[in-house]
Amino acid sequence: MNKFFIMVGQTFKSRVKSKSFFITTLVTLALIFLITNIQTIIEMFDDDEEGAGTSEIAVVSDEESWAILLGETLSSQEGLSVEVNEVNSDEAREAVEEGTYDSAISLDSGEDGLPVATQYTGEDSSLAEAEMMQQSLQQVKIAIAAEEAEVDKATLQAINTPIPFETVSVGEESGAKSSEEMAQTRGLVYVMLFLLYLSVMLYGSMIATEVATEKSSRVMEILISSVSPVSQMFAKITGIALLGLLQFSLILGVGYLGVQQNSGEGSFLNEFGLGDIQLSVIAYGVLFFILGYLLYATLAATLGSLVSRLEDAQQMISPMIYLIIIAFFISVFGLNAPDSTFITVTSYIPFFSPLIMFLRVGMLDIPLWEVILSVGFLVAAIIVLAMIGARVYKGGVLMYGKSTSLKDVKRAFQLSKKEN
Amino acid sequence: MTLKLHNVTKKFGSFTAVDHLSLEIPEKQIFGFLGANGAGKTTTFRMILGLIQESSGDITWNEGGIGYDKSHLIGYLPEERGLYPKMKVQDQLVYLARLRGMNSKEALHEIEQWLEKFKVPDYKSKKVEDLSKGNQQKIQFISAVLHKPKLLILDEPFSGLDPVNVEMLKKAVVELKEAGTSIVFSSHRMEHVEELCEHLCILHHGKPVVHGRLKDIKRSFGKKNVRVRTDFDLAFLKDLPGVTKYKSLGDSCELQVENEHVSQTILSELHGKGFIRTFDLEEPSLNDIFIEKVGNSFE
């Protein structure tokens, strides 16, 4: 048992210390930081273009009350500094040309006695600002019109209040979450699916490479004379798993912090359904990551033990990679139709379930027993695969020569068994 | 701590790699394993180590089998040399020693001493891939003996080394034996086995053709070598009864005779023929025995 941990430690340490691990982790983390903070970053550049950050706006009108009303409405907006009737209309226009003001608004009385607005803008004017200005003006106009029509304030307020609107999910049989909920989790589930897919593939091939490296450098024979192939195989799997968990938690941690800091009303993260991260979804993600990893890692170690040259390792594990890719494509399809029969069925098939059951758990409200059943199948598959894998591994590590086909599984099996 | 193999057979499919091999390897001695390529030496070693299962028969060491619980008592230098190419010598040796149940501190101390002994102390922090083949082999040898095993199995330890390094390693092997290690090693270099071993076994196609103490083997082989150098032609000796081989070497010749008495017949035949410069009766070399035993069964 002690030797098992020495091997786990060695596998973990040698990978963590490697340059490639350091660089990939750093690049990934930087990328995540960038994505979650993209809004802030974009705004930062916007600020640069606008100079000081606040726009100076002059409001001019012959009707003193209109000017004050608009001034108040605009002042409540962020990033605007408003000056009311400091200058007259022509002076304001000149001031904008000279750059003293960013823009100026002149209110005149129209034919119907209601205000007509003209905006003078400089070079840096933005469409968003004009739109905001228009909205404020509209409010002012409504207030003035209402006053002239002698509508009382309470009525006006009642008209302006938005209608209460709520969607209630009643389709209990399908177990679908309300479309709002679904949209909220979709983003998270998608991100997690992608992480699962990527990490299982990455760490799976890492294990196959690790085993193949030890075989091709022939250090394997010393190793198996010290430590039994079975504990060796699981030491490798555990070592890489620790590495995976470290990387995974770094990514999730940075991602979570980034989302926490940047989510808020109207942030784009909310639009993608990433604003409200449910910890239960993360927990399921970690569970399915561990199980999915164990399944594919066992397969990878088994396949890796069959090749004698490093170059053959990729070829050997390609069937495994195809399995993961298929699982991923099914799950992408499932994102849009999580309650289809096809998805339900595939969520019980071990090689697909880590991705697809996770998708269902994330997107739907499914009964617990379904999750347990699927996890049960998965665990059973892992155990069976580990048992076969240990046997193949034991024979495979002593097998040298040109071996890139699955037929060698049989040879390895024979080599490890006692013949009479 | 005697290592016993009893009627051990290993089959790979229809191919028999080791065929009913029975051996007794005494402790604290050096036991030599001889055989042509593919004779079954490595397979036998792997069975002793429990890396592969024997098809039938059994192997016992100290009244028990050899399992992973005893791996700290066993050292193994595989025929196919291999270390982690990218790892530093010291890290590598510490790791391998820990897998054999040694603690790091002890291992570091031993590594220091062994590197010193092999005159390569500055290799400690070098990567293995930067070392020459011969030096890699020294490191590999250290990895096999670092944890002070009771039983040391060396598969072709001297192949590919220059004479200076061969001597260095031989010396180390003898020292280990004197310190009480039982050593089994294989080779196809007869002179190494002849020099180091008290007991040996010659394998041929998985079968032991010669087995026992070196002295007994030589004695029971019976045949002797006679070397003669004279001033006259010696071709007539070829047809003498009891002469099994004749090899002319210019003014001298080498004869193999059935037993030592034949040498006296030859001597009396030579008498009076002319000037005899050399007449030498020699023990057969292991090489002669090997070629005789293995060569014969080829026919």
**Residues of B with CB below 8 A from A228's CB?**
68
For β-strands A55-61 and A80-84, DSSP reports them as parallel
Domains present along chain A, CATH in parentheses: 2-35+178-416 (no CATH), 55-160 (3.40.190.10)
What distances in angstroms separate CA A192 from CA A37, A248, A282, A354, A361, one per listed residue?
Answer: 19, 10, 8, 11, 12
3-state SS, A334-395, equals: HHHCCCCHHHHHHCCCCCCHHHHHHHHHHHECCCHHHHHHHHHHHHHHHHHHHHHHHHHHHH
B7 and B57 in contact (C-beta within 8 Å)? yes
Flag whether pLDDT at A173 surpasses 50: no
A397 and A366 in contact (C-beta within 8 Å)? no
Flag whether pLDDT at A377 surpasses 90: yes
- Better-scored residue on pLDDT, A74 or A411: A74
The pLDDT of residue A268: 58
- Cα distance from A3 to chain B (closest Cα, Å)? 6
User: Among B140, B185, B110, which Cα is nearest to A221's?
Assistant: B140
CA angle B103, B104, B110 (to 5 degrees): 95
The residues on A that touch B, with CB distances below 8 Å, are: 2-3, 6-7, 10, 14, 214, 217-228, 398, 400, 414-420
Q: Using DSSP, state whether A135 is helix, strand or coil.
A: helix
The pLDDT of residue B191: 83
Separation between Cα atoms, residue A201 and residue B267, nearest integer Å: 81
Whether B55 and A419 lie within 8 Å, measured CB to CB: yes
**pLDDT (tens digit per residue) in A256-276:** 787 777 766 555 556 555 555
**pLDDT (tens digit per residue) in B134-169:** 888 899 999 999 988 999 999 988 888 888 889 999
**pLDDT (tens digit per residue) in A12-52:** 988 888 888 889 889 988 888 888 777 777 777 765 554 44
Mean pLDDT of A87-112: 79
- Which residue ranges make up each domain of chain B? 3-218, 223-283
The closest CB to that of B68, out of A214, A228, A416, belongs to: A228
**Residues of A with CB below 8 A from B54's CB?**
418
Q: Is A90 exposed, middle or buried (0-12, 13-18, 19+ CB in 10 A)?
A: exposed
Beta-bridge partner residues of A103: A57, A121
Is B9's Cβ below 8 Å from some Cβ in A?
no
Same fold, B3-218 and B223-283: no
User: Among A205, A411, A393, A203, which Cα is nearest to A312's?
Assistant: A205
The pLDDT of residue B95: 92
H runs (alpha helix) in A51-105? 64-75, 89-98
- Cα distance from A381 to chain B (closest Cα, Å)? 27
Q: Answer yes or no: CATH 3.40.50.300 is held by domain B3-218.
A: yes
Separation between Cα atoms, residue B281 and residue A304, nearest integer Å: 59
**pLDDT (tens digit per residue) in A51-60:** 445 677 888 8
The pLDDT of residue B153: 92
Which ranges of chain B have pLDDT less than 70? Answer: 1, 296-299
Percent of chain A with pLDDT over 70: 83
What distances in angstroms separate CA A320 from CA A166, A352, A374, A376, A404, one per listed residue?
Answer: 46, 12, 20, 21, 14
The pLDDT of residue A88: 77
Mean pLDDT of A162-170: 71
Mean pLDDT of chain A: 79
Q: Give me B203's structure tokens.
A: 């394998």
What distances in angstroms separate CA A146 from CA A76, A109, A113, A156, B48, one per listed residue?
Answer: 21, 16, 12, 7, 102
**pLDDT (tens digit per residue) in B190-202:** 888 888 888 888 8
The closest CB to that of A217, out of B12, B85, B144, belongs to: B85
- Phi first, then psi: what are they for B66, rounded to 5°? -105, 115
A27: Cα within 13 Å, side-chain hemisphere: 6
Flag whether pLDDT at A184 surpasses 80: no
The pLDDT of residue B236: 81
A222 and B96 in contact (C-beta within 8 Å)? yes
- Cα distance from A414 to chain B (closest Cα, Å)? 8
User: Among B185, B199, B252, B201, which Cα is nearest to B225's?
Assistant: B252
Q: What CATH architecture is B223-283?
A: 2-Layer Sandwich (3.30)
User: Among B166, B170, B161, which Cα is nearest to B134's?
Assistant: B161
Q: Give me A386's structure tokens.
A: 């580990």
Percent of chain B with pLDDT over 70: 98
The pLDDT of residue A172: 46
The pLDDT of residue A8: 92
Flag whether pLDDT at A297 surpasses 60: yes
What is the full DSSP assignment across A296-324? Answer: HHHHHHHHHTT-SSHHHHHHHHHHHHHHH
Flag whether pLDDT at A312 surpasses 60: yes
Separation between Cα atoms, residue A353 and residue A373, nearest integer Å: 11
ipTM for the assembly: 0.77
